[in-house]
Chains A and B, each alone.
Chain A
Amino acid sequence: MLSVRDLHVHYGGIHALQGISLEVPLGKVVTLIGANGAGKSSTLRAIAGLVRQKSGAILWKDRDLIHSSADDIVKSGIAMSPEGRRIFPQLTVRENLLLGAYIRNDAAEVENDLEWVYTLFPRMRERSWQKGGTLSGGEQQMLALGRALMSRPDLVMLDEPSLGLAPLLVKEVFDIIRTVNERGKTVLLVEQNAYAALKVAHYAYVLEVGNIVLQGTGEELIADPRVREAYLGG
């Protein structure tokens, strides 16, 4: 289980996270919802080790990751697909995926996982020698998801995976999140699309200006009038 306790994050003078605590049980999908600037991305970035100014505890596999470096965190089994996909445009699809497996030294097993990702996303196989920058937005998102899986993480953090995608692709993204979770991966999901996120999530937290204001199972929050009004359009 990933257990975040009293996490504070500062960006320059801004107190972006004001002591949040949350738990992600193994094998579950947990989602963070909230408005822009509520601190969802900051939470993921802090767990991934991309934020320097932070305090609190990030407990994972009997360790506290609060001061760990980003590469150590990946090695501990946490992978992240960042907001805006951030694939490497000048590298081929295959190279992007191999970078995802950078921490691994088992070349044969990496090839197996590459096969698995190609099965999950058949378009990636067709385009494996194409430069990442030539892919469409949806394909880039699939590539970013596949890349996050290539390190064989136990926990995958996805930051806005459906942002900017056509409705059909949004559905596909959520189907894949379900598939990945059924394959035993724990998922921590940040989404603007609150309804779809709550549908797929076992448990959810609502963030407002750096604080957790509400939490519950996905169904509970979908039914909650406050959530309905603020995030699900009434």
Chain B
Amino acid sequence: MSLEMFVQHLCNATTLGSLYALTAIGYTMVYGILRLINFAHGDIFMLGAYFVFFGGALFALPWGVAVIGAIILSTACGIMVDRVAYRPLRDAPRISALISSIGVSFLIENLAIVIFTAIPRPVHQPEWLSQVFLVGGVRILSLTLVVPAISFLLVAGLLWIVYKTKPGLAMRAISKDIETTRLMGVSVDKIIALTFGLGSALAAASGIMWALRYPQINPLMGIFPGFKAFIAAVLGGIGSIQGALIGGLLLGFIEILVVAFLPALSGYKDAFAFVLLIVILLIKPTGLMGEKLEEKV
């Protein structure tokens, strides 16, 4: 393999990995607080992409406005999913909320098929994203630089919220002990809504960039990236934001490199992710960065 090819694979892997990482954060944050796998998360990813499409196609909004509007709308959807499908089940056994999340996921996907129709739609790529740079003889698509850069900024913003602000402090407290956090005067439902909102905003951003990369959207486009991001979260250690970042990037690299070095197996690249999931669950269920489940003393 030439150096040029290798660098291109590297860029692709970073791009794919950043998108997995962005989506994985939503899974891991919700899990960290509620011990719930939010299966509807991948559908928020899809909604983000569709909202941009309709913002541009139907309302003729400028691209940047459509993107920001889409992220805000998707955030609202994520918060609404929590309000309608999970909050009434807060005191119910955990399995109830999990089943509810599978139900919500099917509901959003099928509503999307009804409302958006199942026909895949082409996505308009702004020119500045499809430019090709020549760096030392290597051709690099501007999209493969922009996606990791934006992802990095979004993650930096998220980490700032989680580690430097009061609501972030409350989030970290809730993930360890909900009841005592209530005793601190924290309105726990508001913080949970904020968590869903942040996770959804990142998933929507990821879905939008995913759509630009393809460039095509359909109502079921969130399912596989959603599963992959979930696997990334488990790989990194579910509950840990750092773990989701590492897991996402790692999964992106594994997938691209498998296709690059073993082209004969490229048809099985999705299967690789699931095999990986099974292997992690067998060998190290807490993932790379996951904490051990602490026994209460």
Within 8 A of A (CB), among B142-170: 166, 169-170
Task: Given A91-B172, A91-B173, verify A102-B180 contact (CB < 8 Å).
Answer: no
B258 within 8 A of A: no
Q: Cβ of B183 and Cβ of A48 under 8 Å apart?
A: yes
Smallest beta-carbon distance A61→chain B, Å: 16
A98 to B179, CA, bound (A): 17
A74 in complex: contacting residue of B169, B176, B179, B184, CB < 8 Å? B184
Q: Cβ of A75 and Cβ of B185 under 8 Å apart?
A: yes
A69 within 8 A of B: yes
A82 within 8 A of B: yes
Q: Cβ of B182 and Cβ of A102 under 8 Å apart?
A: no
Q: Cβ of B183 and Cβ of A80 under 8 Å apart?
A: yes
**Nearest residue, chain B, Cβ from A79:** B183
Within 8 Å CB of B186, what residues of A?
71, 99, 102
Q: Cβ of B185 and Cβ of A82 under 8 Å apart?
A: no
A74 to B187, CA, bound (A): 10
Within 8 Å CB of A50, what residues of B?
179, 182-183
Q: Cβ of B176 and Cβ of A88 under 8 Å apart?
A: yes
Q: Cβ of A99 and Cβ of B181 under 8 Å apart?
A: yes
Within 8 A of A (CB), among B172-225: 172-173, 176-177, 179-188
A75 to B185, CA, bound (A): 7
B173 in complex: contacting residue of A49, A99, A151, CB < 8 Å? A99
Task: Given A86-B177, A88-B177, A102-B166, verify A70-B172 contact (CB < 8 Å).
Answer: no
A98 in complex: contacting residue of B91, B169, B183, B187, CB < 8 Å? B169
Q: Cβ of A102 and Cβ of B183 under 8 Å apart?
A: no
Task: Given A90-B176, A91-B172, A98-B169, verify A103-B183 contact (CB < 8 Å).
Answer: no
Within 8 Å CB of B184, what residues of A?
74, 99-100, 102-103, 147, 151
A89 within 8 A of B: yes
Task: Given A86-B177, A99-B173, verify A69-B187 contact (CB < 8 Å).
Answer: yes
Within 8 Å CB of B172, what residues of A?
88, 90-91
Interface residue tally for chain B (C-beta within 8 Å): 18
Within 8 Å CB of B169, what residues of A?
91, 95, 98-99, 102
Within 8 Å CB of B176, what residues of A?
88-91
Within 8 Å CB of A82, what residues of B?
179-180, 183
Q: Cβ of B170 and Cβ of A88 under 8 Å apart?
A: no
A88 to B177, CA, bound (A): 7
Smallest beta-carbon distance B164→chain A, Å: 11
Q: Cβ of B166 and Cβ of A70 under 8 Å apart?
A: no
A37 to B173, CA, bound (A): 28
Smallest beta-carbon distance B246→chain A, Å: 19
Query: 1/0 contact trace for B42-67 toward A, CB 8 Å?
Result: 00000000000000000000000000
A202 to B91, CA, bound (A): 39
B185 in complex: contacting residue of A74, A90, A95, CB < 8 Å? A74
Q: Cβ of A70 and Cβ of B183 under 8 Å apart?
A: yes
Within 8 A of B (CB), among A136-157: 147, 151
B residues touching A (Cβ–Cβ < 8 Å)?
91, 166, 169-170, 172-173, 176-177, 179-188
A residues touching B (Cβ–Cβ < 8 Å)?
48-50, 52, 69-71, 74-75, 79-80, 82, 86, 88-91, 95, 98-100, 102-103, 147, 151
- Chosen A-B contacts, 24 in total, with CB atoms closer than 8 Å, are A48-B183, A50-B179, A52-B91, A70-B182, A70-B183, A71-B185, A71-B187, A74-B184, A74-B185, A75-B185, A82-B179, A86-B179, A86-B183, A88-B173, A90-B172, A91-B172, A98-B166, A99-B181, A102-B166, A102-B170, A102-B184, A102-B185, A151-B184, A151-B185
Closest 10 pairs between A and B when the two form their complex, measured CB to CB:
A74-B185, A103-B185, A70-B182, A86-B180, A71-B187, A99-B184, A71-B185, A102-B184, A102-B185, A88-B173
